[in-house]
Each structure stands twice: as structure tokens, then as C-alpha cells.
């Protein structure tokens, strides 16, 4: 199979889907790998490294798109790329179909088979979506580092060093959500001597977090009283809870911001517009912060891209087994053999196969379990 990787064109997206060592794995299995020149530059991987690994380097993105069987990338398909989508091209990427209706419709109209990496599942109950968890950990850590930056007075903050400084009280960092994203933030914050509180509603997840994070991190049940207490005492609130699109309530309301200390900030790693944090709206690396009720909000929706080399290595290594399965077996057999991969199937032969997206857009869908019975 001919596998292709193009340079990501989304603003401030510096990751690349494949690293040179993964190229070697595809070639070892008998496949050809076509890579657009410069695709890895933003992550520190030179064209020469890919060529040495056996990749065929291609000058123009369109020549990659038009001559491959499997497109392997990081971010969703953007409007300027819609013209390349076709029926005999398999696309594997973070599709985010329920957030991009136009993209989803393009995939449907072209009868393009597509697999959303973010929806692939696993048997691990604590890592149900493995290709979300890996980037989530990076996002949690990056979110705390953003707080460190914006806490500085030269960047408009209160001049607070998020660290245990002799003679001063330790800053208080409250983290909503004890999943991998929250634990990433907690690991960074606690390692610098901050007082860290984590809240969650799932005791099983809290117990797992307890076994994996330092003892000085305090775990609280996410009651309304606990949220209010965190709002009152915290220097930084980090939200790591993805909020269902259909929910109309919030964990933190606009009125709640008045409880917060002057100079406190909200880092919303989940970046759900009007989600767990009512006042959240997603931002970009170019324009990352805004203020509501005097409280700084940071809600960059692509934090891992700031750590593009680390993120690309993790992404490539973790997603490689799924991409190799499709390349080795063909998409139908790969889907038949792996129910976790089937969970990521988004479109096939003009049919929408992701229930959540269908419900959001109120359109028909086809269960992948029924679809494979026809093959």
C-alpha cells in the first residue's frame, strides 16, 4: 500500500504524523511511504532523515494526496484540502467530525473511508481512548506551563512564581478531572512544590490517580461545595474535563468567577466552548488569552503542538499499530479484526458511522457492527 504524509497546514500545527523510525516499519512490511518535503520540519525531523529511512520525498502536497492509498495525518481535513478527498483514499487522522460538519459532509459525499483516531478505543477502562490520552497528558503539562508564563507580572499576571518559595505560602493549583490530562498537570504542578487539589466524580478514577501521583496532591469529590472552595482559594484552576456537547449546565458559571482571587486564572485544557467552564471559548497560540470578569482565561485548543517534537514522537509511536493494520490487511479486514479500530470508523461508502456525530447533527447513521456483516 502507498502511505502518504503531508505537512499540516492548520495554523500553528507543527506536529507530523510519522517519524523516521515509523517509516522504516511501513517499509519493512512492504509498503511505500510518500512524504511531502518539509512535513517534519516543525517537529525537528529533516527531509534527509526521512529519505534515509526509505521514504519517497515529494515536493508538492497535491502529488502526495493524488498518488497514495492511505493518508496518515494529525489534524482534520481543512477546506483547501477537500478537493483531494476521494473514494479510493483511506484517511486516518483526528477528524473531530462532530465539530466540523462541512468536513464530515465532504467525506460522505466523496464516499471516502475515514477513521477518527480520537475515537479508537481500548480495553483499558482508564485509557478508553488511547490516542486522546497520549495527547491529553501533554496538554495537561503544557497547560500548567502556560499558567507559569501568564502568572509572571511581565506577561500581565500577578507576579506569582508557581513554585514552593522559601518564606512564602505555596501557590494553590486546583485541577478539575483526574484523568490522564489532569494527572499530567498534577505531575508538573506538584513537582514544583505547589499545593495541588484534584476533583472528580469517579472514585475509581480517583483511586487510580491516588496510586500514581505524589502524596501531596489532595483528591476531592467534585461536589458543588468542593468546586466553590477551589474557586475561592486557588491561584490557578485547570479544567481537564471534556464536556458533552448536549449538556447545557456547567461546573463553573460566569457568576462563580467573582469568588476568585484577584490575579487568579483559568486554564481550560478541554477547550469546550461554553462547556465545563461557561466563560470558556477556544483560543489559538497566536491569541491565547482573554479576560472575563477580570479573570484571565487560557483555552488554546492545540496545546501539544507547542511541544511538537515530543508530541509527534508520542503520536507516531502510539498510532502506528492501527495505521499498519490498515496498510497490511486493507481497511475492511482490519476493521473486521479489531472492534477498537471499528469504534473510530467515521465514514464509509457514503455512510456516517459515528453515532455521536449523527445525534448532534440529527442525521441517519449506520452501525459499523452492521456494516461489517455485509462484507
Give me the catalytic one of 47, 63, 96, 126. Answer: 96
Residues 231 and 145 in one domain: yes
Give me the catalytic one of 256, 272, 301, 338. Answer: 272
Report the pLDDT value the prediction gives residue 77, as an integer from 0 to 100. 97
Residues 211 and 320 in one domain: no
What's CA 17's distance to the chain center, in Å?
Answer: 13
Q: Count up the domains in the chain and report the number.
A: 2
Chain mean pLDDT for the chain: 95
Which of 272, 301, 330 lies at the terminal end of a domain, its last residue? 301
pLDDT exceeds 90 at position 242: no
Q: What is the CATH number of the domain that holds 94?
A: 3.40.50.720
Give the residue numbers spanning the domain of 367: 2-119+308-374
Please count the other Cβ atoms lying within 10 Å of the Cβ belonging to residue 123. 9
The pLDDT tens digits for 42-99 are 999 999 999 999 999 999 999 999 999 999 999 999 999 999 999 999 999 999 898 8
Residues 166 and 267 in one domain: yes
Active-site annotation holds for 272: yes
Residues 49 and 77 in one domain: yes
Residues 140 and 244 in one domain: yes
Which of 301, 332, 354 lies at the terminal end of a domain, its last residue? 301
Active-site annotation holds for 123: no
In a domain, 124, yes or no: no
Report the pLDDT value the prediction gives residue 193, as an integer from 0 to 100. 93
Instruction: Count CA atoms closer than 13 A to 154's CA, side-chain side.
Output: 3
Please count the other Cβ atoms lying within 10 Å of the Cβ belonging to residue 281. 16
Which of 269, 301, 333 lies at the terminal end of a domain, its last residue? 301
The pLDDT tens digits for 335-360 are 999 999 999 999 999 999 999 899 88
The pLDDT tens digits for 207-233 are 888 888 877 899 999 999 999 999 999
Q: Alpha helices, DSSP H only, in the chain?
A: 20-28, 47-53, 61-65, 101-109, 130-150, 180-191, 203-212, 224-233, 308-329, 331-337, 339-342, 355-361, 368-371
pLDDT exceeds 80 at position 126: no
Report the pLDDT value the prediction gives residue 102, as an integer from 0 to 100. 96
pLDDT exceeds 80 at position 246: no
pTM: 0.90
Report the pLDDT value the prediction gives residue 99, as an integer from 0 to 100. 82
Amino acid at each position: 500500500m502507498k502511505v502518504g504524509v503531508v505537512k499540516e497546514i492548520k495554523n500553528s500545527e507543527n506536529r507530523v504524523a510519522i517519524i523516521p523510525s515509523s517509516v522504516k516499519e511501513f517499509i519493512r512490511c512492504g509498503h511505500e511511504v510518500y512524504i511531502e518535503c518539509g512535513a517534519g520540519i516543525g517537529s525537528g525531523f529533516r527531509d534527509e532523515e526521512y529519505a534515509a529511512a526509505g521514504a519517497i520525498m515529494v515536493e508538492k502536497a497535491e502529488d502526495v494526496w493524488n498518488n497514495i492509498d492511505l493518508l496518515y495525518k494529525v489534524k482534520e481535513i481543512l477546506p483547501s484540502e477537500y478537493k483531494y478527498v476521494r473514494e479510493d483514499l483511506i484517511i486516518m487522522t483526528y477528524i473531530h467530525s462532530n465539530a466540523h460538519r462541512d468536513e464530515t459532509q465532504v467525506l460522505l459525499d466523496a464516499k471516502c473511508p475515514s477513521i477518527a483516531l480520537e475515537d479508537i478505543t481500548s480495553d483499558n477502562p482508564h485509557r478508553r481512548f488511547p490516542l486522546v490520552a497520549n495527547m491529553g497528558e501533554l496538554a495537561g503539562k503544557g497547560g500548567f506551563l502556560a499558567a507559569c508564563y501568564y502568572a509572571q507580572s511581565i506577561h500581565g499576571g500577578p507576579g506569582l512564581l508557581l513554585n514552593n518559595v522559601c518564606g512564602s505560602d505555596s501557590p494553590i493549583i486546583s485541577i478539575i478531572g483526574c484523568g490522564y490530562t489532569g494527572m499530567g498537570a498534577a505531575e508538573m504542578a506538584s513537582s514544583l512544590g505547589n499545593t495541588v487539589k484534584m476533583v472528580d466524580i469517579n472514585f475509581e478514577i480517583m483511586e487510580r490517580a491516588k496510586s500514581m501521583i505524589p502524596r501531596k496532591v489532595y483528591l476531592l469529590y467534585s461536589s458543588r461545595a468542593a468546586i466553590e472552595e477551589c474557586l475561592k482559594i486557588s491561584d490557578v484552576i485547570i479544567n481537564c474535563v471534556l464536556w458533552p456537547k448536549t449538556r447545557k449546565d456547567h461546573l463553573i458559571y460566569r457568576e462563580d468567577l467573582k469568588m476568585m482571587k484577584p490575579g487568579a486564572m483559568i486554564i481550560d485544557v478541554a477547550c469546550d466552548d461554553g462547556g465545563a467552564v461557561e466563560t470558556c471559548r477556544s483560543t489559538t497560540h497566536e491569541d491565547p488569552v482573554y479576560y472575563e470578569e477580570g479573570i484571565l482565561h487560557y483555552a488554546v485548543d492545540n496545546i501539544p503542538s507547542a511541544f511538537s517534537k515530543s508530541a509527534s514522537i508520542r503520536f507516531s509511536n502510539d498510532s502506528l499499530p492501527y495505521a499498519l493494520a490498515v496498510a497490511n490487511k486493507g481497511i475492511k479486514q482490519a476493521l473486521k479484526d479489531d472492534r477498537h479500530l471499528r469504534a473510530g470508523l467515521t465514514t464509509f461508502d457514503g455512510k456516517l458511522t459515528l453515532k455521536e456525530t449523527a445525534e448532534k447533527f440529527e442525521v441517519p447513521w449506520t452501525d459499523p457492527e452492521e456494516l461489517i456483516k455485509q462484507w
